[in-house]
Amino acid sequence: MKYLLCLGLLISITTFAKEKMNVLFISADDLNCDIGPYGNKQVKTPNLDRLAKMGTVFDRAYCQQPLCGPSRASIMSGLRPNNLGVFTLNDKLRGRIPNLVTMGEFFQSQDYYSGRVGKIYHYGNPTYIGTNGHDDEQTWTERFNPIGIDRTQEENIIRYPGGITGKKGRLGISMAWWDPVSEDNEHTDGLVADRAIKMIEANKNKAFFIAAGFFNPHCPYVAPKKYFDMYDIKDIKLQDLDEAKKELEDVPALAISRDGGQRWPYFYKGLSRDEAKQCKLAYYATVSFIDAQIGRILDSLEEHNLMDKTIIVFWSDHGYFLGEKGLWFKRKAFERSARAPLIIASPSSKQGQICKSPVEMLDIYPTLVEETGFQIPKELEGLSLSPLLKNAQTQWSKAAITQIHHASDKQGYSIRTKKWRYTEWNEGRDGKELYDHENDPEERVNLASSPEYTQIMTRLSQEVQNYSKTYVANSKKVKNNKKK
């Protein structure tokens, strides 16, 4: 009897040891760090607050390029834009490296179910809602493309300037919103949550990599009215426009080439301050909307007793301006555009941590590989964050690189260390920026022209140039290998 009990215990322990960890991979589109886990008390995100208590909030996580397509391709491939060859919304994921192994493919190779619902790779929003967009079929075992009234009834969306309705199209870069009296699952993101829950239920007895990609808070800002009612327009603040313009007097022209000049104020000519405030309120409403959907998905994990064997990742593709510096949208090398939310909850790691070390979205792929117990592919260019998940105070010397690509002759590289952000435009020929984040977290004063910072700039410039030269060289190797 003792022998049988011991044998049963040994089998049980062995089975548990071999049990694979699941991955729940949740993304939001164009979400900045105006959420509870990052200290914003105005925006209501109780479920993201709940997730933050379960894991590690990476307070300084940076995208590799603040544009949807390149950022998402980099995250999913584990490669930087320069090596991958994805710089625009239309560049193909496998154009330069046809045989790359994406994150979902890696888990498929380990006998995982790899399923997607919603936006993970780039989709034109809202135009491609309900389609596969620029998705990569090889990444997934199964994929779903729900469509809600934010797409099917887009003629009801209010467009600024002027509050125009009754039109379709041209909403991908817009100041537009709509607050219908509606149910959550009448909207695309509500349907994303519905399907994610079904995917969890259908695969609860096998290892899974389930990706739920929300389209909000990408413009147009559309959510059920009850989420708009959480906010009062009187509480919405915007920086004074004259003050905002003054902040940009000492930055190179390329730093604001997408939003400057004739496009003042707030990107669209003729847009009033009150209209801009309404759009900011609408953005916050859509954030609260997706937070509620995330809560439903977390509830499903709990209901099926999967919390202890599921690694949860929440991320956004880049940050977003909401009137700061008079700017709107993304595609800047400034902190507010390059920095994005990243929260990872792993059952084997500490809970309720805040990590202040600079990390990159590129690091997600190797982190998930290590956290699930597999060997990290040598091709991946990021670093595993597992040491920081175990202890957020672990010594971490890595800097984060973000690049801007408007054209071959309009490029910038920005490096973020614990204290500094340094940016070079066209290798410094078209200007430089230096910001001291210990004393100037809003990047209001460009120190690049001050002689006293020459030594610091020389050191950071060398790091940026080493990065540029290394990845240009690697890109040439990839091209040569492809020819062979």
Q: What string of H, E and C letters represents the secondary structure of 165-197?
A: CCCCCCCCCCEEEECCCCCHHHCHHHHHHHHHH
Q: CB within 8 A of 68, min separation 6: which ones?
A: 29, 30, 89, 122, 317, 318
Distance CA 215, CA 280 (A): 17
List the catalytic residue out of 33, 63, 122, 318: 122
Name the nearest CA neighbour of 184 among 197, 171, 174, 175: 197
339: nearest Cα among 402, 291, 284 = 402
Phi, psi of 280 (to 5 degrees): -65, -40
pLDDT per position as a tens digit, 239-281: 988 898 899 999 999 998 865 444 544 556 788 899 999 999 9
- Distances in whole angstroms, Cα of residue 270 to Cα of each of 160, 228, 274: 9, 24, 11
pLDDT of residue 261: 44
Mean pLDDT by 10 residues, the chain (484 residues): 44 53 98 98 98 98 97 97 93 95 98 98 95 97 98 96 90 94 98 98 98 98 98 96 90 80 58 93 98 98 98 98 91 97 96 98 98 97 97 94 92 96 96 98 97 96 80 46 41
Q: Residues 322, 283: contact at Cβ < 8 Å?
A: yes
> Does 122 participate in catalysis according to the annotation?
yes
DSSP β-ladder status, 208-213 and 113-118: parallel
Q: What percent of the chain is helix, strand and coil (3-state, nearest 5)?
A: 40, 15, 45
In 41-185, the DSSP E strands lie at 56-58, 61-62, 113-118, 142-144, 158-160, 175-178
d(CA 203, CA 73): 26
What's the pLDDT score for residue 203?
Answer: 98
> Any bridge partners for residue 174, and if so which?
none
The reported pLDDT for the residue numbered 176 is 95
Per-domain residue ranges of the chain: 20-395, 403-483
Label residue 111 left, alpha or beta by phi (over 0 means left) and psi (-120 to 50 means alpha).
left
Q: Do the beta carbons of residue 23 and residue 110 sit within 8 Å?
A: no
Instruction: Reply yes or no: is the peptide bond before residue 126 cis, omega within 30 of 0.
Output: yes
Which residues on adjacent β-strands are paired with residue 115?
142, 210
Nearest to 243 by CA among 9, 444, 459: 444
Q: Which amino acid is at 273?
A: R
The pTM is what? 0.93
Of 269, 262, 184, 168, nearest to 222 by C-alpha is: 184
Closest residue by Cα to residue 312 from 83, 12, 13, 50: 50
**273-303 and 46-54 helices, crossing angle to 10°:** 50
For residue 161, say if its preceding peptide bond is cis, omega within 30 degrees of 0: yes
Listed residue (67, 70, 82) closest to 337, CA to CA = 67
* Residue-level pLDDT at 257: 83
Which residue in the list 33, 63, 68, 279 is annotated as catalytic? Answer: 68
**Among candidates 332, 339, 324, which has minimal Cα distance to 255?**
332
Q: 122 near 134, Cβ under 8 Å?
A: yes
Active site residue 68: yes
Instruction: Give buried/exposed letters for 15-50 (b at 16+ CB in 10 A, else e).
Output: eeeeebbbbbbbbbbbbbbbbbbbeeeebbbebbeb
Instruction: Report the pLDDT value the prediction gives residue 10, as an integer from 0 to 100.
Output: 41
What is the token pair recorded at 70? 């390149």
Residue 387 structure tokens: 């040491």
- Run of H or E including 434: strand 432-436
pLDDT at residue number 470: 55
pLDDT, tens only, 410-426: 999 999 999 999 999 99
pLDDT confidence of residue 266 = 57
Q: What's residue 271's pLDDT?
A: 87
Contact 371, 346 (CB under 8 A): yes
Domain 403-483 has CATH 3.30.1120: yes
pLDDT of residue 484: 40
- For 20-395, CATH number out of 2.60.420.10, 3.40.1440.10, 3.40.720.10, 1.20.210.10 equals 3.40.720.10
